[in-house]
Amino acid sequence: GNGTFATGASATNVGTGVIDTGAVVNKAAWVPGDYTLSFVSPTNWQIVDVGNAVVASGTYTAGTSIAFNGVQVTVAGAPAAGDSFSIAQSGYEDMFSTLDALIAGLQRPAAAPADRARLQTVIGGVLQQIDQDSDHLLGIRAEVGARLVMLDGAESMRDNLKVDIAGSLADLRDLDYAEAMTRMNQQLVGLQAAQQSYIKIAQLSLFNYL
């Protein structure tokens, strides 16, 4: 479907009416549910819900939008009295099921005008579903790409950490302990001298300079 609802033609239709995949014009007004668009005559239609309550009705003009509950569909051709079309909530469908539906539609006889009209409706629905599948695949591909970038970053950090650890280990293995002790003692002497200087300076006041 179009992400909100899916359309289809009844297998018993005898007219040449073809329904498109429809569109949502007001998401807030959409009432999720399964509906049936029926033609009470070649020029009059009505939409009923699962409880057979009439949701909308009107006069049919080929190619003119039929709107109800914030959505609209368009029927082309010449539907006959008693012909009906489904307008049902969209569900999840894998790509293989979509292709199976296309194959099944192409295998049906299409000699009569009504058969060709049903086939056209099936093909329109399948093409819409393939578009939805393509968008879904692109979204998954983008998500996987983002995760791969994160993994690459983590791998780079791990490699840098390994280099740092290897360097630290090399320093420890190659350490000249005598030279290190001498350097540490020199640093301690410098630190103690700095501490003593600070203590003396901290005890001075202005009177020491007068």
pLDDT over 70 at 205, yes or no:
no
pLDDT score recorded for residue 127: 79
pLDDT score recorded for residue 20: 92
As a whole-number percent, the residues of the chain with pLDDT over 70 amount to 92
> The tokens of 165 are what?
């650890």
pLDDT score recorded for residue 92: 67
Report d(CA 107, CA 100) in Å as an integer: 11
In the 8-state DSSP scheme, what is residue 78? -
Q: For the residues 5-32, what does the mean pLDDT come to? A: 92
CA-based nearest residue to 2, from 159, 104, 129: 129
Report d(CA 126, CA 104) in Å as an integer: 11
Report d(CA 193, CA 125) in Å as an integer: 87
Question: Which residues, at least 6 apart from 64, have a Cβ–Cβ distance to it below 8 Å?
Answer: 74
How would residue 1 be classed by pLDDT, with cut points 50, 70 and 90?
Answer: low
Structure-model confidence comparison of residues 86 and 184, the more confident one = 86
| pTM of this structure | 0.59
As a whole-number percent, the residues of the chain with pLDDT over 90 amount to 36
